[in-house]
Amino acid sequence: MESKQERKQAKILGCPVDLLDFDGALNLTYKNVEEKAGMQIVTINPEMTEIARKNAEFHNILNNADLVIPDGVGIKIALKIKGINRQNIPGIEFSKKLIEYCAQNGYSIALLGAKEEILQKAKENLIKEFENLNICYARNGYFTESEEDKIKSEMQEANPCVAFFALGAPKQEILISKFKKDMPSTVFIGVGGSFDVWSGVVQRAPELYQKLGLEWLYRTIKEPKRFKRIFPALPMFLIRVIIESVFHKKG
């Protein structure tokens, strides 16, 4: 794996973002899967930087992640404010490519998260799409803290090459950081609401919204309760980034 010193990173509000493009991030991940080197991948968005501001454990996990990819237009704009032009890497597309790679090369995967019927539907759809896909472990995301050790043992037993955690942030990143200590050769990635989309229950925004970087707007219109969560955070996020880039030019 690339050593920490070789990594090209930017800092957004104290959170790292790796400056790789889509293919660069995928190639690094493929290499880690092949070498059984294990890693934690975070797909970062503005909401996560806000969580990190208030939650030191989560902030520390971001700092120790092996790959932090910019997911969403908010991070793209923040990088631009710092004078860095970077492609947005939607975590859901990145994960799909990773699944395709696993299916084609005989690497097993685990799915952890979402409601049971969503998980089953997502699993079914993925197997339909990638016929050689080996899903060696799948479990819904509704469990208590006391069940975590049992789930970890079950997953360890299944020994997936890549594990997708769809529990939302920061829950998925915190759980990954606990599991990876005992599963050092597995590549872990937090994928938020991706299983909902793969199940077919939730639609991704039409391509035009995706191209304009307005997927968040579409999801907010479809699911208005997201408005309260996302909207006040975004302008505040950009204001903080502007202040940060004025006062810490090097970022």
- The residues that touch ligand UDP, with contacts defined as CB under 6 A, are 113-115, 141-142, 166-169, 171, 192-193, 195-196
Contacts of 151 (CB under 8 A, 6+ apart): 112, 139, 143
- Min separation Cβ 246 and ligand UDP, Å: 30
Beta pairing class for 9-12 and 15-18: antiparallel
| CB-nearer residue toward ligand UDP: 46 or 113 | 113
d(CA 218, CA 208): 10
Closest approach of ligand UDP to the CB of residue 157, in Å: 21
CB-closest chain residue to ligand UDP: 141
- Which residue number, 58 or 107, has a Cβ lying nearer to ligand UDP? 58
If the CB atoms of residues 80 and 229 are measured against ligand UDP, the closer one turns out to be: 229
Based on CB atoms, which residue is closest to ligand UDP, 33 or 191? 191
Least distance CB 140 / ligand UDP (angstroms)? 7
The Cα–Cα gap between 250 and 190 comes to 29
Nearer to ligand UDP, 167 or 187 (CB): 167
Between 150 and 248, whose beta carbon lies closer to ligand UDP? Answer: 150
CB of 190 to ligand UDP, least distance (A): 8
Shortest approach of ligand UDP to residue 54 CB, angstroms?
16
Residue 80 C-beta: closest distance to ligand UDP, Å: 22
Q: From the CB of 5, what's the least distance to ligand UDP, in Å? A: 31
Closer CB to ligand UDP, 46 or 193, in the complex = 193
**DSSP secondary structure of the chain:** ---GGG--EEEETTEEEE---HHHHHHHHHHHHHTT--EEEEEE-HHHHHHHHH-HHHHHHHHH-SEEEE-SHHHHHHHHHTT-------HHHHHHHHHHHHHHHT--EEEEES-HHHHHHHHHHHHHHSTT--EEEEE-S---GGGHHHHHHHHHHH--SEEEEES-TTHHHHHHHHHTTT-TT-EEEE-TTHHHHHTTSSPPPPHHHHHTT-HHHHHHHHSTHHHHHHTTHHHHHHHHHHHHHHH-TT-
